[in-house]
Structures are given as C-alpha cells and as structure tokens.
Structure 1
C-alpha cells in the first residue's frame, strides 16, 4: 500500500532541463566618449565637486575610475554620451579654478562592450573568460566596470565589432550579426 502523501525527489525537484547559461547576451554602445581630468587635488570632496558640476550641466556619467597620479593628485576618468562632450568641455573650462586640475582630454574614439546575465556573482571565471577573449584578439581594454549582472569594458572604437564577436564566441552566443545595441543616454 502506498502513501499518497509522500513525495519523491522527482516530485520536489522536477527535471527542469539543462541549466540556462549565466551570460545571456552581449551589448555594445558606440555613442560613448572618455573624459580624463588630470592633476585633480587628491582630497575629500573633489570627485563630488567634479560630478556635481557635470550633473548641474545635465551630463550623465557612466563608467568612473579614479587613480592616484602622483603624491597629492589624482586622475579621474569617466565616460559620457558622446553627444554631451561640448557640455563636459564647457564645465571643465568654466570650473577650472574651482576644481584645480592641471589638464583634461576627451577621447571620442571609444566604445563600450558588455556581457550581461543573472548569477554572475556566484560563477567564477566569467571575468577571466571576458578578458581572455578580448586579449586573444589583441583588443586593448581602456576601462572596466562590473556589477552583479554585467561586465563591461571600454575599448577603442575601431576594435568594438571585433570585441563583440569575440565575446559572442567565448560565451557560446555566436550569431551572424551584433545583436544588441545600447543607445547611451537616449533612453532607447
């Protein structure tokens, strides 16, 4: 006689099929620019001042890296929509004395490539695979950004398509064409 109330492991954990891949897509953005502000005084509040001035001018900032350049100074690099480069230049020129930096430059020949997926935080080796795929194709990484669902890199614009293809292949997402485009700062 069987107990109708007892459940087997198959009832509790039905076959859900193969586990879905962690990386579900590759995205890219051609509409980025990289701004680097050099010789910023390395003291509390300077990054806040820079980004407050940019926000006041309506500039959206994406990737940010700050590094000590020399004793007492720092370099702050950040990406912005290419369409806002003039606003960035105006802010940096107008606020030069207040911000106290030595120089700045803006590189419009960059693009962002990213892999996205759920569960990246709990799977080791995804970043290694990302950077190995780019390295194997001779693609230079200019800046890196990560989150729980994304690994992104800023690369030279003339290497962006190769980067997208390399990552598609590395993560088993091969397609005949680039599949996702992100229109930075446009809401599309």
Structure 2
C-alpha cells in the first residue's frame, strides 16, 4: 500500500482534468510571537521548542530566518503561531525565559489570520502556489508567514485582510459559491 497513489484509489482524480483543489480554510483565532536576535547556535531552537512543549503550547506554524550573516556574530529570528487562547502562557514563558533563550526582543501579534488552500496533488501541478499568492497580491494583502505541504499552502496575513484573502483565493480557484459542485468519492451514506 506504500506505493499507492490517490489516482490508484480514485482513478477519476488523475489526468489534466483532475479536481486538485478541494477548498479554502481560514482561522482567525491564532496569534504569533517573534523572538528576535537569538544567537544562531546549536541548542537555542531546542530550548525554545522544549520550553513551549513543557508549557503545553500547541504550535501551528514556524519560521526561522537568519538575521545576520557575520560568522562571528550570527543571530536568528524565530516566529511561531499558536492558538490565541494560549497567549498568556506564551507570554509568560517568553518573559520568564529571556535569559536562557538569549533573545534580544519579543514581538506578539494577535491581529493575524491564516488562510489555507487545501487539495490533492498540489505539489505536482505547476502554478498552484503562484496563483494563490497572485490572488493575495492582487488585493494588496501582505503575507507575514508561509507554510506548505503536499496538501496545503498556508499564509498568515493581517487579520483585517483575512476575509478579503478568502474571497480572492476562492475566486482565483473557481470556488465561488455559485460554481461549487459537490463530489462524493465514497462513504456509507449513514
């Protein structure tokens, strides 16, 4: 079964006419924290995520970027998203562990939303990612964070732009309410 593809299970999902995109999801209940200026050395990122795990924080998205490239003075910025309901726990962890984590500053943003394009085989069809981000760009929506997988492209955007982002991506992929068809591939119907 390891070599089985979605086309083997559902033969009508292969070929150029295959339904790739299944929908657009969004979430307005997340927050983001960015730890800036963490020394870029082994163990620092581990300390961040071990501490968050011990505090019971559910992490959704992660981005790490080098903030400086001088070999003697390398720093990284780490941004994570998590349920806004855990904001107090995250702030407490960040404040209580500033010395151990050795970050310079911490920024919290509760005014974010996540939009995700969900589908099968997106990695094997050129242009899906470009169309997703073009839809956001056409609405002048700034992307704060990106995450991808074989079945999903997600972007964190300003909360005030989330509804517009959802509408623009729906339109870009032909998922507007007046054009949606329901396709059922299996089930008992109970």
Q: Deviations over 1:112-153 (max 9, x none)?
A: 000000111110100000000000011110000000000000
Q: Does residue 170 of structure 1 match 2:172?
A: yes
Q: TM-score, normalised by structure 2?
A: 0.82
- SS of 1:148's equivalent in the other structure is coil
Q: TM-score, normalised by structure 1?
A: 0.83
For the residues of structure 2 that align with 1:166 and 1:16, how far apart are their CA atoms? 28
For the residues of structure 2 that align with 1:40 and 1:61, how far apart are their CA atoms? 19
* Structure 2 unaligned spans of 5+: 1-10, 179-190
Aligned match of 1:98: 100
Which of 20, 23, 26 in structure 2 is aligned with 1:25? 23
Which of 147, 160, 163 in structure 2 is aligned with 1:158? 160
Number of matched residues? 162
* Structure number with higher strand proportion: 1
Considering only aligned residues, what root-mean-square deviation do their CA atoms show, in Å?
1.6
For the residues of structure 1 that align with 2:27 and 2:92, how far apart are their CA atoms? 24
* Structure 1 unaligned spans of 5+: 1-14, 177-188
The structure, 1 or 2, with the larger RCO (C-alpha pairs under 8 Å, 6+ apart) is: 1
- SS of 1:62's equivalent in the other structure is coil
Determine which structure has more spread, i.e. the larger CA radius of gyration. Answer: 1
